[in-house]
Amino acid sequence: SLGHGPGSKGHGRGLDNENCQCGRIYKPVCGSDLKTYANQCLLDCHAEMAEGRQIGLKLLREGRCKEGQKKGRGPK
């Protein structure tokens, strides 16, 4: 039988990719937490975890996050 009750997926243990059943496709996306995720699947997976739900994690844009990018508009 599959599954062992609630919590068997190990959610809420921080952002470790072992919990995400994603392929090893490298098509980077930038999350609203300004972290680069290897692909959309990983970002979606992290968004479902406790930490991701807490901050309302979502796709910011495709491609890597720019280094030093800040939330909001800075003087530039």
CATH number of 17-62: 3.30.60.30
Which residue type, as a one-letter code, is found at position 19? Answer: N
Per-domain residue ranges of the chain: 17-62
Place of tokens 């290897």: 38
pLDDT per residue of the chain (76 residues) written in tens, 0 to 9: 444 444 444 444 444 566 888 989 999 999 999 999 999 999 999 999 999 999 999 999 999 999 765 665 544 4
CB-CB contact of 53 with 47 (8 Å): yes
Max distance between CA atoms of the chain, in angstroms, equals 57
Q: CB pairs under 8 A, 24+ apart, for 5-11?
A: 11/48, 11/49, 11/50
pTM score above 0.85: no
Rg (CA), the chain: 14
